[in-house]
Amino acid sequence: MSVFPSGEMAGDVFARLFSVLLENEQFVEKARKESLSVQLVHSKPDCRIFVSPEGVVLGDAAPFKPAITLKMTCDTAHALWLGRLPVPTAIATGKLRIRGRIAKVLELVPLLQPAFDRYPDIAAEAGL
């Protein structure tokens, strides 16, 4: 059974997480400079999240084609954000599949630190 009881709950938790990133000026500046947008396609339960410097959109309809698409289960995403599963390991083992430039993803991982720092609290507030 998944850590998340529903796709709606997963979407809410991850939307809050990505909102933390959008509060970080360094992340937003880099994302704008690199024209970075990301579509996260989570499964078990299903949940789609589109993130760009302009905001977070939940659901199937991305406002435009993302630069990068990340596919993984919600449990994999949960383990990544808790720091239990390193991003390179997730990529190497196929738990995280990337469409787009992998180098761009790895380059941005250090900028994700505020989200990694906040995720345990966000997950705990959601009862996970």
Whether the link from the prior residue into 45 is cis, omega within 30° of 0, is: yes
Residue 67 confidence (pLDDT): 87
Q: Is 51 helix (H, G, I), strand (E, B) or coil?
A: strand
What is the per-residue pLDDT across 28-44, written as a single tens digit (0 to 9) for each? Answer: 998 888 888 889 999 99
Cα 61 from Cα 75, distance rounded (Å) = 23
Alpha helices in 39-112 (DSSP H): 74-82, 87-92, 102-108
Q: Is 53 helix (H, G, I), strand (E, B) or coil?
A: coil
Cα 76 from Cα 1, distance rounded (Å) = 13
Instruction: Quote the percentage of the chain above a pLDDT of 90.
Output: 59
Q: Supply the pTM of this predicted model.
A: 0.88
Residue 35 confidence (pLDDT): 82
What is the per-residue pLDDT across 79-123, written as a single tens digit (0 to 9) for each? Answer: 999 999 998 899 999 999 999 877 776 777 777 888 899 999 999
Q: Is 24 helix (H, G, I), strand (E, B) or coil?
A: coil
